[in-house]
Amino acid sequence: MCGIIGYVGSRDCVQIIQSGLSKLAYRGYDSAGIAVCHEGDIDLRRAHGKLENLVARLALEPMRGHTGIGHTRWATHGRPSESNAHPHRYGRFAIVHNGIIENFLELRQELIDRGHTFASETDTEIVVHLLAEYYSPERGFAAAMHDALRRVRGSYAIVAICADFPDEIIAARQQSPLLLALGEGENFAASDIAAVLAHSRQFIFLEDGDIARITPSSIEITDISGKPVTRAPKSIEWDISAAEKQGYPHYMLKEIFEQPQKITDTFRGRILEEEGLVNLDEQIAAMHIEQSKRLQIVACGTSYHAGLLGKYVIESLARIPVDVDVASEFRYRNPIIGPDDCFIAISQSGETADTYACLKIARERGAKILSICNVMDSTIPRASDATFYTRADPEIGVASTKAFTTQLASLLLLAIHCARAKNTITKDRAKSLLASLRSVPTHMESILAHSDQVRAAAQKLLRANSFLYLGRNIHYPIALEGALKLKEISYIHAEAYPSGEMKHGPIALIDDRLPVIVIAPKNSTYEKTLSNLQEVKARGGRLISIVTEGDDMLTRVSEYAFAIPDCDELIQPFFSVLYLQLLAYHIADLLGNDVDQPRNLAKSVTVE
């Protein structure tokens, strides 16, 4: 996720902002920049690449000022480059922004028609032009921000400066984190506590719709209409390491808890619920994936499990045949793929070597290429006809969590789009599914509130030597993912099977020492799964179940039972996998393992 810091006070702000940006570098970024108010104007320095490049430029072209803003950018709209780096400056203003302006294309055209010239490919630049459009010195800086943001749809954390108001910064939040830090004769704005913890322990956490006017001695917060809002300061006693993790003991746990927000980001601007449609990027829509005779999904590891689930939902909804292959197998088996097929590469990093090699084979044989990826302008997206970006933000923990669930969300949106284009589902069915998808983040938050209960179960299970995971139909890929998570970070052997395959071998392993994780919510295969549960119980297996809320029968026969909402079958995996992520995390943590950097594993596998 991009990083923001702003400062207003009596000290020279450049070193403060530069230091704050270095504290945000753990998030991942592709460019950085600083803008300051200086002698009646705004001075700006930006650099593509690492923060060291910006530091080197500042050494050659120094800046001074007492009010300024800084940013580390992780590309969304527009490739990584200096021209797309933040801050963006226009007229008397400069701004930094995290989030996505959904209506930026229509606003951009409107502003071009009014004579504005744009210098970047970003959605962010729209806002600084709107500020210039609505500004008058008499009404002031804050009034222009209110007017500009009334035109904007989407998510934002914005911090802005104005050359005419050199002792003032304006900060605004809508569905993207932003906080204020209070000092003596100085104040700060930041996207993350880590950026400013060296200077303050008193923080105000802005909420959606807040707009703050910040001077060295005061903070005034209003809503979008200008009505005053009160936000009480909170004292934070974290150390710097904890601040980078926002108080979580590990990045992995932080990223598990980020999933409701990241899924919201994946959906943003893509769901047209009233029309029962999915709004895809023009490049994706132009591919007409629904006209393909076959989809070929290729991926590795966790992304492969997402692809398996994608097969279920695409075939179920859009009735398009889907094959799913592990990339390291696909590339060596002389695969059958051609111009009538669409090749879908799934990769969190966009740099996975085996997946990229498969993409090149598909390209040579004339297939259309779509990638589902988290890192903009990485190798696989650059080699694709179009890319569905998951918007999960940088994932630091090696064991993938939020990247997986945002891949699931992306595949479901793709399935609904193809189904509507082919008329294989009704508008009402699509509307119902999209409404269910919108509710996913809220339900995930409710499940995350039970993390301590999962930890209590983990305490009783962590001495087991092996685990068996069972799931049917859409939950089989989730069983695979749960077993992989446990193996990756706890170093305990785990095996996943389709529930119906248990009696074809794995049943021989079941005794009173073997925990068996059964994903058994009420759905089309519920009764079949019940039979498998009875087989486990009859052999003394330790039964841990994921059940639908209110399923008292399964709860009674299970050593531990974790409830998910009663919801559409295609939505259930978002909730069942959440429990499996938490279980793996807590077992590994209780064992004292290095959760974020498990042995022998790398985050991005860029070699065969």
Residues with catalytic roles: 2, 603
Task: Report the run of H or E that residue 253 belongs to, with start and end.
Answer: helix 251-257
**Cα distance between residue 252 and residue 56, in whole Å:** 33
Instruction: Locate 445 and state its tokens.
Output: 């938050």
Q: Which residues contact 57 (CB under 8 A, 6 or more apart)?
A: 45, 47
Torsion region of 41: left, alpha or beta (phi above 0 gives left; psi -120 to 50 gives alpha) = beta
Give the number of residues written for the chain: 608
Are 380 and 356 in contact, with CB atoms under 8 Å apart? Answer: yes
**Cα distance between residue 189 and residue 172, in whole Å:** 10
Nearest to 43 by CA among 22, 13, 5: 13
Q: Which residues contact 592 (CB under 8 A, 6 or more apart)?
A: none
| β-pairing verdict for 234-235 and 202-205 | antiparallel
CA 544 to chain centre: 29
Residue 260 Cα distances to 174, 175, 265, angstroms = 15, 12, 9
Are 374 and 403 in contact, with CB atoms under 8 Å apart? Answer: yes
Q: Which residues contact 81 (CB under 8 A, 6 or more apart)?
A: 31, 48
In the Cβ-directed half-sphere of 259, how many Cα atoms lie within 13 Å?
31
Nearest to 584 by CA among 513, 497, 499, 481: 481
